DNA sequence: ACTATGAATTCTGAATACAAAATAGTACAT
DNA sequence: ATGTACTATTTTGTATTCAGAATTCATAGT
């Protein structure tokens, strides 16, 4: 069995994102490096490396002499992120092998239909949603693009926990995913791309009201 | 006068990108942190922070225990980067205020026409090209998108110096820029977007042959 | 001659130490 | 009471040190 040997900075980054998903950090608050490092049981060095990475992804922002803090959320930024991811995922779809897309269509449909039945924990929903999108893009040969999508989505994690307790949109989300899957099965790529864009636009609208300004 | 007070890591990052433009580093070679830090007159800490940032942007890659190295160039990756930037710039254009686009149209046209007369140094050409694209996107309200474009373009800098000494394509590049500007002046956004995409696709084709495999 | 083994060296990854900037707090003057 | 100057404390930014992994090199064995 291959024992995991990854740099601490990556493990720390993952842990911070996990905590972000759980809503542990409130956006806009400063990070105390020494305290956080102690809490994680590491030194400040790899922690800072992780923070710098996250700042590059837009999860954090840094000010000279003032350290890092979780970038405050805003409707404007969330809209911006959605616009970007929608465009990137559309591109990924267009670059994918149509044959492969048709092949994963049924699986995408199945996943969309068994979308957690609203009772599931928020984290499960997120994970399920991510899984669906990952599968959707699995045929894209542009590796840089996939990395980029992952990176931009990291920036959206600050918003994920705001969705908690909002059950109604879940069905619509599942519905829209079905629509995408069906278009892919039918081999209609443009329709699938449009449906995907709609999904992002609608998802954005649904979220907007829940973002405090 | 406001004296510059930026973190060392940012200054180092800029300096490394400058050197990359000059072709100082040959892609694929490892970086010796201690040597480079000494050469720059800084300690390894802020240097490593800059390296990590650049790795996040795809300029460098890191392997556990083996440090950083300039990611080797490849036709595949260059194609991928072009696809991404083309999509992002197109999106930026679509999000821009049409009125503003029409207003900067003439300036874009002027800049395109006075494209350095092939005698200029390679670096001047790059700078001029960047300036043109920056102006093109200047009306985009999506700040995250602009940051992202900058970041992805950083990854393309590894390819910039490969273009050196290739004069012929310059006129075509200028030509294509004119085409975009004219479409904008005419208020035909879809045409401008198409022309811009063409520009990226053609620019990619032109470069392909010069990338060693 | 070639491979394998192991010591020596070099380099990275991480922790610690130090310096400088920012923040908080206090005394003092108005 | 309010504002200002000054000190103390905290926190970041950078440098240095330490530990361990990777590489190199030499040597022994086949």
The ranges assigned to domains in chain A are 8-70, 75-208
DSSP tag of B7: -
Q: For residue A4, is it left (φ>0), alpha (ψ between -120 and 50) or beta?
A: beta
Share of chain A above pLDDT 70, in %: 95
| pLDDT tens by residue, A138-188 | 999 999 999 999 999 999 999 988 887 777 678 888 999 999 999 999 999
For residue A155, what is the nearest residue in chain B, using CA coordinates? B144
pLDDT, residue B121, reads 76
Could you identify the residue whose CA is nearest to the C1' atom of nucleotide D20? B65
Residue B57 in contact with partner chain A when CB distance is under 8 A:
yes
A–B CB contacts, 8 A cutoff, strictly below: 75
Hey, what CATH class is B75-208 in?
A: mainly alpha
Written as one string, the DSSP assignment of B168-194 is: HHHHHHHHHHHHHHHHHHTT-HHHHHH
- DSSP letter string, B53-90: HHHHTTSEEEETTTEEEEPPP-HHHHHHHHHHHHHHHH
What CA–CA distance (Å, rounded) separates A121 from A95? Answer: 34
pLDDT band at A119 (very low <50, low <70, confident <90, very high): low
Q: What mean pLDDT comes out for the span B55-78?
A: 96
- What pLDDT is stored for residue A161 in this prediction? 87
- Residue A69: enclosing H or E segment and its boundaries? strand A67-70
Q: Do B45 and A45 touch (CB under 8 A)?
A: yes
- B91–A95: do the CB atoms touch at under 8 Å? no
A196-201: average pLDDT: 96
Would an 8 Å CB–CB cutoff place A49 in contact with chain B?
yes
Report chain B residues whose CB lies below 8 A from the CB of A49: 48-49, 52
Q: Which pLDDT band, with edges at 50, 70 and 90, does A126 fall under?
A: confident
Predicted confidence at residue B4, as pLDDT, reads 64
Is B43 within 8 Å of chain A by CB? no
A143 at interface of B, judged by CB pairs closer than 8 A:
yes
pLDDT, tens only, B124-178:
888 899 999 999 999 999 999 999 999 999 999 999 888 877 776 788 889 999 9
Is B53 close to A58, i.e. CB distance below 8 A? no
**A60 DSSP assignment:** E
Banded model confidence at residue B30, pLDDT cuts 50, 70, 90: very high
**Domain covering A8-70 in this structure, CATH number:** 1.10.10.10
Q: Over 80: is that where the pLDDT of A117 sits?
A: no
Percent of chain B at pLDDT above 90? 81
Under the banding of pLDDT at 50, 70 and 90, the label for residue A124 is: confident
User: Nearest CB to A144: which of B81, B95, B145?
Assistant: B81
pLDDT in tens, B102-127: 999 999 999 999 876 766 777 788 88
Residue burial A64-99, b: 16+ Cβ < 10 Å; e: rest: eeeebbbbebeeebbbbbbbbbbbbbbbbbebbeee
pLDDT bucket at B1, cuts 50 / 70 / 90: very low
Q: What confidence tens digit (pLDDT) does each residue in B83-97 have?
A: 999 999 999 999 999
Interface test with A, best of B3, B148, B155, B196 (most A CBs within 10 A): B148
Element of type H or E holding A205? helix A189-208
**Do the Cβ atoms of B157 and B20 come closer than 8 Å?**
yes
């Amino acid at each position: 069995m291959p024992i995991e040997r990854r740099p601490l900075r990556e493990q720390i980054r993952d842990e911070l994102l996990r905590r972000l998903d759980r809503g542990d950090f409130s956006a806009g608050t400063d990070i105390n490096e020494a305290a956080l490092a102690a809490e994680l049981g590491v030194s400040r060095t790899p922690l800072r490396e992780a923070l710098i990475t996250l700042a590059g992804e837009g999860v954090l922002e840094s000010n000279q002499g003032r350290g890092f803090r979780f970038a405050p959320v805003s409707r404007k930024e969330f809209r911006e992120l959605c616009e970007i991811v929608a465009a990137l995922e559309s591109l990924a779809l267009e670059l994918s092998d149509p044959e492969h897309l048709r092949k994963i269509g049924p699986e995408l449909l199945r996943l969309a239909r068994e979308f957690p039945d609203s009772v599931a924990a928020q984290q499960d929903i997120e994970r399920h949603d991510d899984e669906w999108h990952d599968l959707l893009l699995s045929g894209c040969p542009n590796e840089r693009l996939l990395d980029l999508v992952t990176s931009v989505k990291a920036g959206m994690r600050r918003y994920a926990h705001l969705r908690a307790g909002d059950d109604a949109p879940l069905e619509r989300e599942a519905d829209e995913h079905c629509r995408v899957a069906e278009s892919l099965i039918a081999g209609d790529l443009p329709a699938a791309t449009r449906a995907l864009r709609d999904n992002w636009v609608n998802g954005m609208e649904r979220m907007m009201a829940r973002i405090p300004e």
